[in-house]
């Protein structure tokens, strides 16, 4: 984040006196939409408070169905804060909460009086002060709003594992901001500014566009009732999770990409190795799943070529993919989004390298169809 000025509007200096900017009780208020957290009726209206650094965080459940609605947001679709739920008889009363509110309270050098002064100066034809006020209000809002997002996500993560409610999404899926978030002067009881949910635009490479030849090949596959291989389908899933999912899940993308690579390598080794090595190869493949081994010594023994010797950078990515996969499985490690996407891209390059390998022919070989995917 770029550095900002202190946030206080200029006041006339007093000779010989150092002025300390006066602080105002400020609050960032945000609302978040949920998939429907089931609670007992008596939990409605509950308030939960904790602190983080110099900020007080308050998470509030709705009491009435109309809670958290505002008349000054005509563009925001109306959502009942909670709804009755169909449930199995004699299992107890339950209501589905669809909206929660999170407030973050703190002190800051901006006030409703500063806003009024900036508006008055704007109305006299000078916009400089109101523009600076807007910049400073946004700078003060941004950090506490991030805290509110993190608090809502952390709360939902705990709810997921405590409740066992399977419809609440995956661990990385945060609750989405509902309507606008506001920074408020609590001393004056007035809003300073409001901010809608973040908007984004995605640019993609035109090289991804399908050609007529590819579309014709797809037609032939459909006509012959051919299905994509398991490995290719898993890699497509990993691509989606790593970059295009509504909630990017780099951790699962890495797990799926590693599985896809293992399946693909074993399939290609079975398809392209000479028949004289096949019995031994099948025995070794049952006991080996490490990508480094599969793409190194085993590939050299079966095909006379190894990724380690042919493409060291790509082999390094596969080694890292295997390492990160093990860290996720055994230690629950997190995966950075950028690295997750890079490793998924590398998995696609591995598939291309494997597909380009020639079939190893030995004396007595006959043509093999090679669709042994189910045993990979």
All residues at 6 or more sequence positions from 109 whose CB lies less than 8 Å from its CB, including other chains? 6, 7, 8, 21, 22, 23, 24
Provide mean pLDDT across the span 97-120: 97
- The percent of residues above 90 in pLDDT, for the chain, comes to 64
Q: Which of 25-29, 172-176, 182-186 has the lowest mean pLDDT?
A: 172-176
How far apart, in whole angstroms, are the C-alpha atoms of residue 137 and residue 193? 7
pLDDT-derived band at 298 (thresholds 50, 70, 90) equals confident
Highest mean pLDDT among 72-76, 186-190, 287-291, 331-335: 186-190
pLDDT at residue 15 in the model: 47
Q: Are strands 24-39 and 181-185 parallel, antiparallel or unpaired?
A: antiparallel
What are 236-291's pLDDT values in tens digits? 999 999 988 888 899 999 999 999 999 998 888 888 886 666 666 766 776 676 78
Q: Which pair of tokens denotes residue 235?
A: 């890699």
Residue 5 has pLDDT above 50, yes or no: no
Provide mean pLDDT across the span 83-110: 95
How far apart, in whole angstroms, are the C-alpha atoms of residue 137 and residue 140? 5
CA 334 to chain centre: 12
pLDDT at residue 206 in the model: 85
pLDDT at residue 1 in the model: 35
How far apart, in whole angstroms, are the C-alpha atoms of residue 239 and residue 342? 10
What residues does 100 pair with on adjacent strands? 32
Provide mean pLDDT across the span 299-326: 91
pLDDT at residue 21 in the model: 66
pLDDT-derived band at 6 (thresholds 50, 70, 90) equals very low
How far apart, in whole angstroms, are the C-alpha atoms of residue 87 and residue 191? 41
Residue 347 has pLDDT above 60, yes or no: yes
Which residue would you say has higher pLDDT here, 7 or 81? 81
pLDDT-derived band at 207 (thresholds 50, 70, 90) equals confident
The per-residue pLDDT of the chain, averaged, comes to 87
Q: Which of 11-25, 72-86, 94-108, 329-343 has the lowest mean pLDDT?
A: 11-25
Q: Measure Cα distances from 151 to 79, 154, 181 in Å.
A: 22, 5, 15
Residue 17 has pLDDT above 80, yes or no: no
How far apart, in whole angstroms, are the C-alpha atoms of residue 68 and residue 103? 12
Residue 2 has pLDDT above 80, yes or no: no
Of the candidates 176, 327, 328, which has an alpha carbon nearest to the alpha carbon of residue 252?
328
pLDDT at residue 84 in the model: 94
Q: Which of 72-86, 88-102, 263-277 has the lowest mean pLDDT?
A: 263-277
How far apart, in whole angstroms, are the C-alpha atoms of residue 344 and residue 317? 10
pLDDT at residue 228 in the model: 87
Q: Are the C-beta atoms of 29 and 99 separated by less than 8 Å?
A: no
Of the candidates 349, 262, 270, which has an alpha carbon nearest to the alpha carbon of residue 310?
349
Residue 367 has pLDDT above 90, yes or no: no
State phi, psi for 171 to the nearest 5 degrees: -60, -35
DSSP string, 201-214: -----GGGSPPHHH
pLDDT at residue 97 in the model: 97
Highest mean pLDDT among 180-189, 292-301, 324-333: 180-189
Residue for token pair 């006020």:
133
């Amino acid at each position: 984040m770029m550095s900002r000025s202190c946030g206080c509007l200029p006041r006339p200096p007093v000779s010989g006196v150092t002025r300390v900017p006066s602080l105002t009780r400020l609050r960032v208020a945000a609302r978040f939409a949920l998939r429907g957290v089931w609670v007992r009726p008596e939990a409605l209206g509950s308030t939960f408070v904790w602190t983080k650094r110099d900020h007080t965080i308050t998470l509030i459940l709705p009491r009435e169905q109309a809670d958290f609605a505002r008349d000054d947001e005509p563009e925001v679709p109306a959502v009942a804060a909670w709804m009755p739920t169909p449930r199995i008889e004699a299992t107890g009363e339950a209501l589905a909460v669809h909206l929660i509110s999170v407030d973050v309270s703190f002190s800051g050098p901006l006030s409703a009086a500063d806003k009024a002064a900036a508006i008055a100066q704007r109305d006299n034809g000078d916009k400089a002060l109101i523009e600076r006020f807007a910049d400073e209000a946004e700078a003060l809002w941004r950090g506490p709003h991030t805290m509110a997002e993190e608090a809502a996500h952390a709360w939902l993560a705990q709810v997921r594992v405590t409740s066992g409610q399977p419809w609440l999404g995956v661990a990385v899926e945060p609750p989405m901001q509902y309507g606008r978030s506001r920074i408020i002067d609590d001393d004056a009881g007035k809003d300073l500014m409001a901010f809608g949910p973040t908007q984004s635009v995605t640019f993609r490479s035109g090289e991804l566009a399908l050609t007529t030849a590819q579309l014709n090949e797809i037609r032939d596959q459909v006509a012959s009732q051919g299905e994509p291989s398991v490995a290719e389908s898993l890699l497509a899933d990993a691509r989606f999770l790593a970059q295009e999912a509504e909630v990017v899940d780099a951790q699962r993308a890495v797990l799926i990409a590693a599985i896809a690579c293992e399946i693909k390598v074993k399939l290609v080794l079975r398809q392209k190795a000479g028949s004289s090595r096949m019995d031994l190869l099948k025995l070794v493949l049952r006991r080996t799943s490490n990508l480094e081994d599969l793409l190194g010594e085993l590939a050299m023994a079966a095909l006379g070529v190894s990724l380690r010797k042919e493409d060291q950078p790509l082999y390094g990515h596969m080694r890292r993919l295997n390492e990160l996969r093990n860290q996720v499985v055994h230690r629950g490690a997190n995966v950075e989004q950028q690295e997750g996407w890079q490793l998924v891209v590398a998995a696609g390059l591995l598939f291309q390298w494997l597909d380009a390998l020639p079939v190893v022919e030995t004396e007595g070989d006959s043509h093999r169809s090679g669709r042994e995917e189910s045993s990979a």
